[in-house]
Amino acid sequence: MIDPVVDLDGIRALPEPVLFADVRHYLDGRSGRAAYDRGHLPGAIFVDVDHDLAAPGSAAEGRHPLPSPEAFAECMARLGVSDDDTVIAYDDAGGVTAARLVWMLRVIGQDAALLDGGVEAYAGALETAVPDRPRATFTARPWPPERLAGIEDATSASFVVLDARQPERFRGESEPIDPRAGHIPGARNVPCRENVGADGRFLPVELLRRRFAAAGVTDGASVVSYCGSGVTACHNLLALERAGLGPGRLYPGSWSQYSATDRPAAAGA
């Protein structure tokens, strides 16, 4: 398995050609597809977070439940992603949305990584043409249960529970999307957008380890990662892996599921 984050030099060193995947996605009404159409890396496909990487949302399951393995395989095959492809995903936000695709592929054993620095790291001319990729063969593989967490895990003292949202949402000062403000009691805030520096590239491994250590993550710790809907939480999981701190578990329902229940919510830091 390749590293979870690679730069352009690292991509050139890979033994096989790679497939770029554009996973730009916005919560403010902008269209990720429109951004892709205005310019994307050569040969890149567009992967839609809402439709390609999630099942329909609900109060019971959250805004972005994981799709069934069969639905995900059908989507990848339709987009031209094969079992043998190495997928390099990117966005324009430090990888916080592209991480969802990378995590989904890696947990089923397929080589995938984030492009460090995202679309801005590419110095060449962007393309507007949509690649005509034929349908591929992509095998449906189950989501490994040991890489997933449910609502009981996210409230268990057996795990270090990390909240990837921005601090104001964690503290309960702002909640623009989900039913209630606040966070899961006992969770620690590790905002995923701070895994990268001002240049949009990942922090050095030692700094990542310090960030997670400050949240109680040490070598061998069992970690559950959540966010608003299970998308940006994947960024923390990839950062954990990059830092050598283990794979961790994704709580797919995340705050969008938890906040729709009558379970207690915490506020403040």
Output the CA–CA distances (angstroms, integers) from residue 258 to 224, 227, 252, in the order listed. 14, 11, 10
Gyration radius of the chain's alpha carbons: 18
**Best CA proximity match to 45, nearest among 36, 53, 58:** 36
Contacts of 184 (CB under 8 A, 6+ apart): 154, 155, 161, 163, 226, 255, 258, 265, 266
If you ran DSSP here, which 8-state letter would residue 119 be given? Answer: G
Collapsing DSSP to helix, strand or coil, 102 comes out as: helix
141 vs 241: CA distance, rounded Å: 21
Collapsing DSSP to helix, strand or coil, 251 comes out as: coil
Residue tagged active-site, from 75, 192, 227, 234? 227
227 as an active site residue: the answer is yes
Which neighbouring-strand residues pair with 130? none
**Best CA proximity match to 84, nearest among 21, 142, 26, 17:** 17
Cβ atoms of 165 and 227 within 8 Å: the answer is yes
- Residue positions annotated with a catalytic role: 227
